[in-house]
Structure 1
């Protein structure tokens, strides 16, 4: 019995090692169109597309080690800003207002990259809650130069009007009339103030489980 045990071959079982994982803080270079962006894996993890692209399942790196993404770099820049700091993009100009065409293009990129929170924010047009315009109507008293704050724009609407001007008591016109009608420059001033609510364009902090 002992001889049989001694002569029995020893069968070694293979040892399975877990796949190597990349450090989340490792620098990543993305080639987006003709422009390069440098970031980390941790920053890109919210995007399902980018997380899959950087996984070990795909050998999708270029010869120089970068990852190529066929997209517009001008649209990817605000997306990366959102992934880094949770700042939602707001494309607003005082003269032209919101850039709706750019919002629509960015929404398609958010869908393609699988960034659900940014996609929802754009679909629900939350950017309209960030910027509001307050208007105040005032009477134009004189034509003296006025100063306005940097976020306020004034529009003048002058007009000639007739007003009754009374004379001093010791000056009386013909037929006992002590007043006369004169034409004066009058009008209205419309003050437009742009109010930017910065709290509404920043994502609320997330509580990790």
Structure 2
């Protein structure tokens, strides 16, 4: 035991931090999906949620005690993940690149919920600098050489060329 009564190993407290008594779990419903989080998670970076939870909420509360949020559930999941951990979402696929439409849709949700840091990140398109893609080209002559190149974990696009040797 440490001097303050915490049990610790190597200076790292082993006691789990309990939420403050006013930091109650909140259930939200966006579309058909339900999300449970802490009140402080929602209000820490969003003036919209601070105003929402400081007003009269009887109209927004469902019979299930969840609060109705008028948002696309698939996008709201990214909003909530950002509010929880401050991690910016990356919508990138190696074949198609960035999903710009999804970023635009998320930007509108971030504006609606007044999450300024996420709005700025999306408006400035910082996500374009978050992923680096490189391409390597190799040439092979003959099927055996091609088979050797194609082994491994890489994704390949093969463009065969035909010609005659002189």
What range describes the TM-score normalised by the shorter chain of this pair? 0.7 to 0.9
CA distance in 2, matches of 1:86, 1:23: 22
Cα shift at 1:59 = 3.3
Count matched residues: 140
Q: TM-score, structure 2 length as denominator?
A: 0.75
> Paired residue for 1:48?
47
* Structure 2 gaps, min length 5: 1-19
> Paired residue for 1:106?
106
CA distance in 2, matches of 1:88, 1:66: 26
CA distance in 1, matches of 2:99, 2:29: 26
Larger Rg: 1
CA distance in 1, matches of 2:124, 2:36: 30
Deviation per residue, 1:96-152 (Å, 9 max, x gap): 222111111110000000100111111111111122221122221332322132xx3
Equivalences for residues 19-168 of structure 1 within 5 A: 23-24=22-23, 26-45=24-43, 46-55=45-54, 57-60=55-58, 61-62=60-61, 63-144=63-144, 145=147, 146-149=150-153, 152-163=154-165
In the alignment, is the contact (CA less than 8 A) between 1:148 and 1:154 conserved in 2? no
CA distance in 2, matches of 1:136, 1:94: 14
In the alignment, is the contact (CA less than 8 A) between 1:32 and 1:72 conserved in 2? yes
Deviation per residue, 1:14-46 (Å, 9 max, x gap): xxxxxxx9712x100112122211000121121
* Structure 1 gaps, min length 5: 1-20, 164-180, 182-209
> Paired residue for 2:8?
none
